[in-house]
Structures are given as C-alpha cells and as structure tokens.
Structure 1
Amino acid sequence: MKILIVSDTHRKDDNLKKVIEKTSPLDMLIHLGDAEGSETKIAGWIGEDCDLEMVLGNNDFFSNLDREKELKIGEYRVLLTHGHYYNVSLGVERLEQEARDRRLDIVMYGHTHRPFYEVRGGVTILNPGSLSYPRQDGRKPSFMIMELDDQGKAHFTLNFLEPQYN
C-alpha cells in the first residue's frame, strides 16, 4: 500500500499536481489541512482506486471537512489533524499525549509548514511540511510517502521537490 501525505497547499496546487503525477499510482492521499477550497479539484486529480482523506485546517474557512479523523491503515490506528488545536507550533507534546490517551499508533499533522518525523515511545508523529509555503531551512516544498510492506509494516520517507527555474 502506498500513501501520499501532504499538507498546507493553500490553493497553490501546481506542486501537488506534480507530486501526484510523480508518485502515482497511489492507494491513498492524505491531506492534513489548509487546502483552502481545492478539495474537489484534488479528488479529481487522483485515480478512482485512490482513497482521499482530508481534514480541516485553520485557513479552511468555508469547508465542511472534519476537524480531525481517526482511521485504520493496515494494522495501525492513525489520527489525522491539522494540529493547530494541539498548539503544534510550540511542540508535539500535547499531540503525543493525545495519541497515548486514544491508544493510537501514528499521528499526522500539518500547520507548521516544517517536516517532522519522530517515534516517541512507540507513537509515530509526523508532519509532511508544506508543498506551497515551506518554512524549514532551505525552504524546499516537501511531502511524505507511507508504504506498507508485505508484512504490513509501515515505512515513511520524506521527499522534497526541487525548485523549477524557467
């Protein structure tokens, strides 16, 4: 199973389209908020066999997306959230505690526009960064791929888009 994880595209969708083309075929696309109205477009860019999971970001003012979602990916219990309700800009401690309280295996969040990947006491916490407005050193647009191997074990890779110069 191959899953594309993105966040904070803020309606600047060219990089997202490129990443979908580059990483297809996909089994699932997870968008962790701040699509800002591109939800329907994104659904049209993925194949019929690709599931789409999206959550509400702090800039998704007119969206009916869920504030967060719990789902099962293989054997893993996963929380999708934008992260702003957990003050992730100050750290992931509240998010980590929420995962423990709910007995979750993986927590995915956005909001900070900075990639993050850490395993803390068996809980995987990750942020794919932003494809539109990256804020980490080097400011390269980023995304993550989650793959489940034949034994069902999850593997994560952080990927960067190289800037295009005309």
Structure 2
Amino acid sequence: MKKKFLVMSDSHGQNDLVQEVIDKESPIDGLIHCGDMEEAFGKDLSFPMYFVKGNCDSRRIGKKIPYERIIDVCGYKILICHGHLYHVKYSLQDLINEGISQQVDIICFGHTHIPLITKKKGILLLNPGSLAFPERGYQNSYIVLTFSENGIHYSLKEVMEY
C-alpha cells in the first residue's frame, strides 16, 4: 500500500498557495501543516488534514487546534509541531529529545522558514521551509512524503513562480 502526504508550513494566510500545491500534487492521501496558517483553510477536502498551531496562530486559529500532535501513518509514528516551543531557530536538540521521549520515527516542524531534511538519533526530521515567505536565499517550498512497502521516501519541492 502506498500513501502520499504533503508536508507544509508557514503559509501565513496564503491559502491560494496551499490550494495550488494540493492541485499540483493530487491525488494525495493526507496533508500535514506544521503551523502558522494564520487563517483556517476553508475548503472541504477528501483526505485527512493534520494541523498544528504556530506562534502566529494563537489568536486567529481556534482553540481546538493543538500546538503539537502525534499521528500514525502506515505504522510510522509522526510528531507534528511548529517548533517554536522547542526553540528550533537556535538548536534542534530540544526537538530531538522530545522525539526520543515520544518514541517517534518522524518529526515534521516549521518556524525557521528554512527547509531541512536530516536524520538524527534515528529520527527523520522534516522541515518543509515556508510555503509563503521563505527565508532570504531560499524558495517557497514543501515536502512530498510517501509511505510504501519499501519504506519512506521524501522530496523537497519548490513552488515555482509563474
């Protein structure tokens, strides 16, 4: 069984970009958003969406959306958070320690607006960068994360300007 998920972060109200990526990558089996949406994505979609709040979401996004959550996809335990509560702009150590304590396989996070794909202490760390406002020197980006009987595959993708 093969499942395709989109991982995005820091769209900051640019829902047109969210929809553009969904349209481009469809069909997909799920969407992981690592926070700083700033406004709810209002379209009813036919796949599960896993959202967390970021530091810019606290007043605009409802209280029902958590700051972090753990999901299971194809037997892989995934921690989703924005990253600001783990100080990821300065170090990944607090985030890695949380991943170890929660016994996760993958951590999806944002906040830095800089994409990162790395493996530390046996945990795959995925930061898709910012969909809307990348840090200087980087492109608007997201990650395609695919689960299959052969394991996990991931690819950083850039949103191309037209």
- Establish whether TM, by shorter chain, passes 0.5: yes
Aligned length: 157
Deviation at residue 81 of structure 1 after TM alignment = 0.2
Of 48, 51, 55, the residue aligned with 1:54 is 51
Of 33, 42, 53, the residue aligned with 2:35 is 33
- Distance of 1:69 and 1:75 partners within structure 2: 16
Residue 134 of structure 1 aligns to a residue whose secondary structure is: coil
Indicate yes or no: 2:151 matched with 1:153. yes
Query: Could you tell me which residue of structure 1 aligns to residue 135 of structure 2?
Result: 135
8 Å CA contact retained: 1:140, 1:163: no
Query: Could you tell me which residue of structure 2 aligns to residue 68 of structure 1?
Result: 68
Q: Deviations over 1:30-53 (max 9, x none)?
A: 1110111123x2x43x3x2x1110
Deviation at residue 136 of structure 1 after TM alignment = 5.0
Residue 88 of structure 1 aligns to a residue whose secondary structure is: coil
Query: Could you tell me which residue of structure 2 aligns to residue 21 of structure 1?
Result: 23
Amino acid at match of 1:145: V
- Distance of 1:37 and 1:12 partners within structure 2: 9
Q: Deviations over 1:118-139 (max 9, x none)?
A: 01121111100111001152x3
- Distance of 2:88 and 2:121 partners within structure 1: 18
Higher helix share: 1
Greater shift in the superposed pair: 58-67 or 17-26: 58-67
Deviation at residue 152 of structure 1 after TM alignment = 5.6
Any unmatched runs of 5+ in structure 2?
none
8 Å CA contact retained: 1:7, 1:111: yes
Between the two proteins, what is the percent identity of the paired residues?
Answer: 32
8 Å CA contact retained: 1:115, 1:136: no
8 Å CA contact retained: 1:32, 1:54: yes
Query: Could you tell me which residue of structure 2 aligns to residue 144 of structure 1?
Result: 143
Deviation at residue 97 of structure 1 after TM alignment = 0.9
Amino acid at match of 1:23: E
Residue 90 of structure 1 aligns to a residue whose secondary structure is: coil
